[in-house]
Amino acid sequence: MSHTADLVDELYRSRRATIGIVGLGYVGMPLALAAWTAGFRILGYDSDSAKVEAINEGRSYIKHIASSEVAAAVRDKRLRATSKFAELSETNAVIICVPTPLTAHREPDLSYVADTARAMAPHLRKGQLIVLESTTWPGTTVEVVKPILEQSGLKSGADFFLAFSPEREDPGNPNFSTKSIPKIVGGDDPVALRLASSMYGAIVADVIPVSSTQVAEAVKLTENIFRAVNIALVNELKMVYGAMGIDVWEVIEAAKSKPFGYMPFYPGPGLGGHCIPIDPFYLTWKAREFDISTRFIELAGEINTSMPRYVVDKVAQALNTHFGRGLRGAKILIVGVAYKKNVEDIRESPAFKLMELIEAAGATTEFYDPHVDEIPRTRGHPELAGRRSIKWDEQVLRAYDLALIATDHDGVDYAALVQNAKLIVDTRNACARAGATNSNIIKA
């Protein structure tokens, strides 16, 4: 098989390979364009026919990706999308970029990964490289994906090659792109590692090979657990310092002047996105197999998941203090429903939990978000689907009892919000950072 591996390796080094990408979302689509820019032919697969149609027509459905870039790749005849899995048999490599959410009981949901492997198995061919990028628990690639693919009769390391390379996308971050972020790569065997490193080495600036797929899987979890734990710490400090009358954001700004031994993290209304609220629970679940309790990680999860209730309590206290009323019957404006600033990505957004809790207390909510025109259907909050952002109007702002800043988009006129809103609960310190100060602002 070494001769075959040499031939495949040369296809990657010379950029003559065709790369298949399964899942054309916030991870798969930037990767497809980065691979196209590097000179590869790309065949993208997605079960969403609307995405397939958009790509083949040269349109982008992700705001931070320009349609002009998609159109250029399509015109170049090196980017095409399909909803037919069988077509992936034409590719030299298949990269899997599908979701790995949690179940309602906070256990790993690998259904998208397993279903993809099952769909791929009948079309697997000798010499193909299969890479999983979806974040998951250490062992998934060899314990879940590998046995399913080997049901084809082909064997990993002999007939096809299997690797794991964790995605490290940060949607909307102007400082880092797919190409500039170092790529971790682990293989099921040395040849798989070599081939995956060659392929990614032709696409990104730096490849970091590790000894196994399990190590590569653990790297991604470690990165996001680090963030989750530190965010939980500053969320707890926010509550403690708040009770003391100390502004946690001022504390953090001063603390980060220390040039060593400190890294700033910032509190918020809860965790959002496709990684940090989810990934730590993949490790806590797997750790049970080894009779290990991940107390530190689970405590961080408890603190972070409690933040929406803490914020809603602050909203209720603010209404009572300033107007002598509770939440029931109040009209609340949520400012920002994306999970982070300056993107349209709403996955796991804490804003939805805030809306749920506020409405359960008898208030009504509407939202304004310059990046989200309409809330799509989500697994966690299907009842919010179809709600549309209000039009920004200073007179309309005066109609709400309270504005709750959940996401600190730069495109919001905070000075106008402070001037016109009766009361503001700011979970992101957005008003102060914009230089808008007033006695009607409560930090939470």
Mean pLDDT of 173-202: 95
For the cut 60, the answer to whether the pLDDT of residue 1 exceeds it is no
Q: Which pLDDT value is given to residue 3? A: 63
Report pTM: 0.92
Catalytic residue of the set 275, 363, 375, 384: 275
CATH class of 247-443: alpha beta
Do the domains 247-443 and 2-212 match in fold?
yes
Q: Please write the tens of the pLDDT for every residue from 313-351.
A: 999 999 999 999 999 999 999 999 999 999 999 999 999
Q: Please write the tens of the pLDDT for every residue from 46-64.
A: 999 999 999 999 999 998 8
- 357 token code pair: 């809790």
Q: Which pLDDT value is given to residue 169? A: 86
The helix/strand/coil state of 367 is strand
Q: Which pLDDT value is given to residue 176? A: 87
Q: Which pLDDT value is given to residue 408? A: 97
More confident call, 160 vs 275: 160
Q: Please write the tens of the pLDDT for every residue from 113-155.
A: 999 999 999 999 999 999 999 999 999 999 999 999 999 999 9
Q: Is CATH 3.40.50.720 the right assignment for the domain spanning 2-212?
A: yes
- Residue ranges covered by each domain of the chain: 2-212, 247-443
Known active-site residue 431? no
Using alpha carbons, select from 42, 170, 173, 151 the residue that is nearest to residue 95.
Answer: 42
Using alpha carbons, select from 32, 38, 31 the residue that is nearest to residue 15.
Answer: 38
Using alpha carbons, select from 378, 433, 386, 380 the residue that is nearest to residue 405.
Answer: 433
Give me the residues paired with residue 332 across strands: 365, 402
Using alpha carbons, select from 242, 290, 208, 300 the residue that is nearest to residue 429.
Answer: 242
Using alpha carbons, select from 373, 336, 32, 12 the residue that is nearest to residue 169.
Answer: 32
